[in-house]
């Protein structure tokens, strides 16, 4: 900047009422201004690398909140999303806005006697929900817990033994619990996340401003943020999408488990339930007394994580028999009684 | 009306006029501000992955600085209390600098929040669907913007009246001053409640956070003003009395003592009870499972705060050299304690027990420095503008001759 | 200044971990076993129905001797060590119920229910083991897996399997399990395994 050196020979506090500036003064001032403008332009230069996808179109800027959109507007938005996905991945998706079924409230149960910690649920979820592969986003985190402790601080998330289950451990996968008293919904400043009538807490990805307050508020660390542009290839894309669940997200918005609402709202099981080899995961409509989830809540020793936080999760853990601990040595039966 | 535009224009012109030290200072600040802008543009292109934040530690340096600066803004208006409630006239002439600092700092806070957003292009969504009164962030938006407007009005009105050589009408600013006092306390309380209200983060879910915020803010804010007033005294002709500095010293002294006491309360609560909820405190003060990146920082902050408090209690801090050292120590110590010592440890360990440490990236640091530089630039400009006006050197009459209103008034006076 | 900014000398690459492919078996949802559910066996490449041999050769009353045929079968079924607890002595193409009457070979759950009552009860309600299909039967079909699709009837313990890889998220740092250091364990069950100095000896199992 050639500003500071130039000023020394000029009178201080040039009286503004004095007759116009000298030609030298004018050239000097405009040189300074030009240098300043060049510096500002150079400061803004990284923006030249911005990809056109990142620049919101007028259509996107004017798009309304999910709850305010009319069916025609929603149709236009779904069309736009289909077009964008097709342009990017060369795969024609089916993007729908699937409404919740009436008389349905989804609850999940997980049998920690049977869970062996194989993490197939984690990867099935990733495959189903079009998450970013690099950087990696996984909605489900499997905790290897120490026997004797329910405190998650004693957990290990990065276990990698040759086989599971391991000695003296039990496994607790954690994902979004779709709480009935959700702290994330409470804290969102723009109402980009809310709870639907069937119990699923959803996010409008086109409304979220990315403040990450919900991520700080969740006691189960269930919400994820797109810090970078999601890295997803066409082969990995799941074309069966819904507006509120697994359509590809953009950088800078939150996402999380939605109990695969694009599947469950048409009667199917979430991907994690289908993948579990031991059948530890159970899902269904708790309002139907004949469902397996209602049976579990009636007959099994169910509990929730971090109950003291008052979130009322719709995700129960339970244990029944010795289950996955059969690999551990048993005390041999002691003779006695009638023998 | 024309007067108002000339006022603005003259203020703008004044900000480009000064001696070589002024230019050097402004140039350095401009360089950093441009570096920050450049880094932010890089962040806009690459997403927040250019920062060191992760899903595990999802708030970092930006929110840390935001928290600290909200405190600074609140405390700047605390100069007002001695003058308007306790009628302590030593501070009367320097209140305006506190209010100007509040304006510059609030703008910095808003900038920090903006750079922290993942989708700043969607900021208008805040107006379209506002989750008030449920979300504390909406309370914060109202509080911060309201405070900015309040202070802009008060400062603008007072300085403009001085420019017009008109006695300011009490009705136009005194009620706002009183509102600003209450509002200042509330902006920092609301910011504290942002954190306190989260049951899933036991490190934050404690009633002591809001009082600690206020105590540390009232220590750091006036300390900052003590330093800036000395600069004003040195480089301009504005008269800043020693009594003003000593009154401010008293405020910082009491606030620093309360801050240390509250720190002691927190340390006792966490370490005596030793429940599982104290994992974050353990990470911060002692390290957890071999991870101890923040331990040296927090102990440095505690050392700084303790030394600053001790110095302030000693009568030797009436002397400016010791006072300045104490102020700098307090400012830096409280910055570390509120930023790294409050925001980051709440995320470690995560609610599921994972430990991922946080290190800000160069980009992130540059953006933060850029915003600080921009804020200091604004404050320097404000001071540069207001000192000549308030001391009567720069008035409309001097520059343009008496206005029509002045003539009318003097005619009315002679007629009476 | 402009030149410096344009030149961008402090480019910092974002350390996005490269994508590691997830192996196919990690998302394969087919059941772990594929039993034929037919009373057949393969000897020397030829398939025989059970009755073809067993009608010819009478079996001794008890089987507490080493098997001469079917030696590949490892019997590890807990205290259920008697072949005729399950297999029908008179008709090898079927299983035996409580009274010795035949249970068809393609209905193993009825057999397992003889001893594993509570599990069977859960299984009939789709609570034990996986149920494939729709949660809402009016919208689609369901299929409950049969016992032997997960459990080898002779060694029914569910086989340990290789876990899929763990998380590798952005900037997660070094996540190798850190030793507890000087901290005492928070696990109430393990406190009796700490030495007086506070060292956690949990993982040093005395053998």
Could you report the predicted ipTM of this complex, rounded to two decimals? 0.90
Rg (CA), chain C: 28
Question: Which chain C residues have a beta carbon less than 8 Å from that of A282?
Answer: 126-127
Render pLDDT for C15-49 as a digit per residue (tens, 0 to 9): 777 787 778 888 888 888 888 888 888 878 888 88
pLDDT of A12 above 50: no
Question: Which chain B residues have a beta carbon less than 8 Å from that of C175?
Answer: 354, 356
Give the nearest partner residue to B357 out of C173, C181, C183, using CB atoms: C173
Q: Which of C9, C12, C184, C198 would best serve as a mutation to test chain B binding (most B beta carbons within 10 A)?
A: C12
- Shortest Cα–Cα distance, A46 to chain C (Å): 8
Give pLDDT tens digits along chain B (416 positions). Answer: 777 888 888 888 887 878 888 889 998 999 999 999 999 998 998 899 999 999 999 999 999 999 999 999 988 777 888 888 887 777 777 888 889 999 999 999 999 999 999 999 999 899 898 988 999 999 999 999 999 999 999 888 888 888 888 888 888 888 888 899 899 999 999 999 999 999 999 999 999 999 999 999 999 999 999 999 998 888 888 888 888 888 899 999 999 999 999 999 999 998 898 887 889 999 999 988 888 899 999 999 999 999 999 999 999 888 889 999 999 999 999 999 998 899 999 999 999 999 999 999 999 999 999 999 999 999 999 988 888 888 877 777 777 777 676 677 677 777 76
Residues 6+ apart with CB under 8 A from C58: none
Whether A160 sits inside 8 A of C169 (CB atoms) is no
Distance (Å, whole) CA B364 – CA B61: 7
DSSP chain C: -HHHHHH-TT-----PPPP-PPPGGGG--S-S-----SSEEEETTEEEEHHHHHTTSPPPS---S--SS-TT-----TT---GGGTB-SS-TTEEE-TTS-EEETT-HHHHHTTT-HHHHHHHHTT-SS-EEEBSSTTTS-EEEPPGGGTS-SSS-SPPPBPPPP----TT----SPPP-TTPPP--GGGGGGB-TT--B-TTS---
- On whether any CB of chain B is under 8 Å from the CB of C3, the answer is no
Q: What is the structure's pLDDT at A9?
A: 39
Question: Which chain C residues have a beta carbon less than 8 Å from that of A164?
Answer: 160-163
Distance (Å, whole) CA B245 – CA B241: 7
Give the nearest partner residue to C179 out of B34, B56, B290, using CB atoms: B290
Whether B55 sits inside 8 A of C170 (CB atoms) is yes
Q: How confident is the model at residue C6 (pLDDT cuts 50, 70, 90)?
A: low
- Shortest Cα–Cα distance, C36 to chain A (Å): 19
Residue of B nearest to A183 (CA): B198
Q: What is the structure's pLDDT at B145?
A: 95
CB A286 within 8 A of CB A198: no
Q: Pick from B402, B75, B415: which is nearest to B228 by CA?
A: B75
DSSP for residue A55: S
Render pLDDT for B313-370 as a digit per residue (tens, 0 to 9): 999 888 889 999 999 999 999 999 998 899 999 999 999 999 999 999 999 999 999 9
Whether A225 sits inside 8 A of B58 (CB atoms) is yes
Question: Which chain B residues have a beta carbon less than 8 Å from that of C186?
Answer: 276
CB atoms within 10 A of CB A337: 5
Distance (Å, whole) CA C196 – CA C25: 46
CA atoms C191, C197, C201, C205: torsion sign = negative
- Shortest Cα–Cα distance, A70 to chain C (Å): 28
CB A241 within 8 A of CB A247: yes
pLDDT of A221 above 60: yes
Render pLDDT for A291-327 as a digit per residue (tens, 0 to 9): 999 999 999 999 999 999 999 999 999 988 765 566 6
Distance (Å, whole) CA A52 – CA A43: 20
The angle formed by the CA atoms of residues A322, C176 and B284, to the nearest 5 degrees, is: 100
Whether C169 sits inside 8 A of B55 (CB atoms) is yes
Render pLDDT for B167-202 as a digit per residue (tens, 0 to 9): 888 888 888 888 998 999 999 999 999 999 999 999
- On whether any CB of chain C is under 8 Å from the CB of B292, the answer is no
Cβ pairs A/B, distance under 8 A? 205
Rg (CA), chain B: 23
Render pLDDT for C65-89 as a digit per residue (tens, 0 to 9): 777 777 888 888 888 888 888 988 8
For A159, B361, C172, C182, C203, the CA distances from C176, given in Å and listed in that order, are: 9, 23, 11, 18, 15
Whether B17 sits inside 8 A of A13 (CB atoms) is yes
- Shortest Cα–Cα distance, B62 to chain A (Å): 11
Q: Which of A47, A142, A189 would best serve as a mutation to test chain B binding (most B beta carbons within 10 A)?
A: A189
Question: Which chain C residues have a beta carbon less than 8 Å from that of A328?
Answer: none
Distance (Å, whole) CA C88 – CA C95: 5
Higher per-residue confidence, A34 vs B1: A34
pLDDT of C207 above 80: no
pLDDT of C180 above 60: no
Residue of C nearest to B52 (CA): C171
Residues 6+ apart with CB under 8 A from C118: A320, A321
Q: Pick from B262, B233, B261: which is nearest to B248 by CA?
A: B233
Q: What is the structure's pLDDT at A201?
A: 96
CB B294 within 8 A of CB B341: yes
């Amino acid at each position: 900047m050639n500003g500071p050196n130039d000023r020394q020979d000029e009178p201080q506090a040039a009286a503004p009422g004095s007759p116009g500036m000298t030609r030298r003064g004018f050239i000097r001032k405009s040189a300074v201004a030009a240098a300043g403008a060049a510096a500002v332009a150079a400061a803004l230069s990284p923006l030249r690398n911005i990809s056109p996808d990142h620049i919101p179109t007028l259509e996107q800027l004017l798009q309304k909140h999910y709850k305010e959109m009319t069916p025609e507007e929603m149709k236009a938005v779904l069309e736009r999303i289909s077009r964008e996905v097709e342009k990017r991945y060369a795969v024609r998706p089916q993007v729908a806005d699937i409404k919740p079924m009436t008389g349905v409230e989804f609850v999940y149960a997980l049998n920690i006697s049977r869970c062996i910690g194989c993490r197939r649920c984690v990867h099935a979820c990733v495959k189903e929900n079009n998450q970013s592969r690099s950087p990696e986003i996984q909605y489900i985190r499997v905790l290897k817990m120490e026997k004797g402790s329910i405190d998650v601080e004693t957990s290990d998330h990065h276990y990698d033994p040759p086989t599971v289950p391991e000695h003296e451990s039990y496994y607790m996968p954690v994902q979004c619990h779709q709480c009935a008293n959700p702290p994330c919904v409470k804290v969102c400043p723009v109402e980009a996340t809310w709870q639907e009538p069937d119990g699923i807490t959803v996010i409008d990805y086109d409304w979220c401003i990315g403040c990450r307050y919900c991520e700080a508020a969740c006691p189960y660390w269930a919400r994820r943020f797109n810090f970078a542009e999601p890295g997803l290839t066409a082969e990995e894309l799941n074309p069966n999408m819904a507006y509120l669940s697994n359509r590809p997200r953009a950088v800078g918005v939150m996402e999380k488990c939605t109990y695969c609402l694009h599947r469950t709202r048409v009667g199917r099981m979430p991907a994690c339930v289908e993948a579990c080899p031991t059948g530890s995961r159970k899902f269904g409509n708790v309002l139907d007394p004949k469902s397996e989830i209602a049976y579990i809540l009636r007959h099994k020793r169910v509990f929730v994580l971090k109950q003291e936080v008052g979130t009322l999760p719709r995700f129960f853990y339970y244990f029944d028999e010795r289950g996955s601990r059969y690999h551990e040595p048993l005390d041999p039966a002691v003779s006695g009684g009638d023998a | 009306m024309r007067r108002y535009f000339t006022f603005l224009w003259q203020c703008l012109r004044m900000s480009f006029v000064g001696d070589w030290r002024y230019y050097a200072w402004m140039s350095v600040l401009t360089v950093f501000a441009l570096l920050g802008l450049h880094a932010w543009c890089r962040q806009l292109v690459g997403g927040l992955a250019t920062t060191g934040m992760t899903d595990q530690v999802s708030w970092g340096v930006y929110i840390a600085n935001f928290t600290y600066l909200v405190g600074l803004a609140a405390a700047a208006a605390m100069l007002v209390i001695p003058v308007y409630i306790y009628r302590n006239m030593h501070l009367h002439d320097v209140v305006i600098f506190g209010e100007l600092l509040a304006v510059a700092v609030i703008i910095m806070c808003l900038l920090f929040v903006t750079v922290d957003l993942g989708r700043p292009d969607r900021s208008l969504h805040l107006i379209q669907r506002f989750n008030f009164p449920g979300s504390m962030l909406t309370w914060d938006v109202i509080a911060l913007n309201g405070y900015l407007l309040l202070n802009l009005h008060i400062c603008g009105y007072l300085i403009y009246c001085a420019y017009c050589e008109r006695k300011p009408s009490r009705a136009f600013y005194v009620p706002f001053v009183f509102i600003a006092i209450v509002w200042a306390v509330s902006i920092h309380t609301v910011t504290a409640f942002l954190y306190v209200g989260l049951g899933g983060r036991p490190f934050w879910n404690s009633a002591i956070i809001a009082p600690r915020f206020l105590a540390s803010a009232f220590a750091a804010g006036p300390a900052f003003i003590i330093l800036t007033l000395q600069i004003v005294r040195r480089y301009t002709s504005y008269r800043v009395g020693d009594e003003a500095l000593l009154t401010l010293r008293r405020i910082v002294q009491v606030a620093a003592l309360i801050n240390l006491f509250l720190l002691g309360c927190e340390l006792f609560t966490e370490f005596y009870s030793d429940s599982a909820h104290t994992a974050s405190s353990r990470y911060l003060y002692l390290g957890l499972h071999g991870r101890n990146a923040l331990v040296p920082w927090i102990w440095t902050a505690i050392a700084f705060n303790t030394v600053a408090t001790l110095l302030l209690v000693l009568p030797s801090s009436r002397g400016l050299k010791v006072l300045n050292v104490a102020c700098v120590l307090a400012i830096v110590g409280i910055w570390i304690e509120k930023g790294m010592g409050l925001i980051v440890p709440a995320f470690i360990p995560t609610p599921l027990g994972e430990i991922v440490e946080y290190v800000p990236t160069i980009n992130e640091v540059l953006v933060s420095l850029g915003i600080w530089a921009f804020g200091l630039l604004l404050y320097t400009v404000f001071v540069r503008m207001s000192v000549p006006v308030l001391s009567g050197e720069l008035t409309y009459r001097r520059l343009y001759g008496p206005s029509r209103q002045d003539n009318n008034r003097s005619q009315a006076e002679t007629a009476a | 200044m402009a030149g410096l900014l344009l030149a961008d000398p402090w480019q910092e690459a974002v350390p996005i971990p490269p994508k590691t492919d997830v192996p196919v078996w990690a998302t394969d949802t087919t059941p772990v076993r594929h039993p034929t559910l037919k009373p057949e066996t393969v000897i020397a490449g030829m398939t025989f129905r059970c009755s073809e041999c067993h009608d010819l050769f009478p079996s001794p009353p008890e089987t507490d001797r080493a098997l001469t045929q079917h030696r590949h079968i490892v019997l590890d079924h807990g205290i259920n060590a008697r072949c005729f607890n399950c297999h029908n002595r008179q008709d090898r193409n079927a299983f035996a119920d409580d009274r010795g009457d035949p249970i068809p070979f393609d209905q193993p759950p009825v057999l397992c229910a003889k001893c594993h009552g509570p599990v069977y009860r859960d299984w009939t309600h789709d609570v034990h083991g996986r149920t494939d299909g729709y949660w809402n039967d009016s919208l689609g079909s369901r299929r409950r897996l049969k016992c032997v699709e997960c459990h080898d009837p002779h060694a029914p313990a569910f086989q340990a399997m290789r876990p899929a890889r763990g998380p590798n998220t952005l900037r997660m740092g070094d996540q190798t399990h850190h030793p507890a250091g000087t901290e005492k364990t928070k696990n109430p069950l393990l406190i009796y395994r700490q030495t007086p100095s506070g060292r956690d000896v949990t993982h040093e199992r005395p053998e």
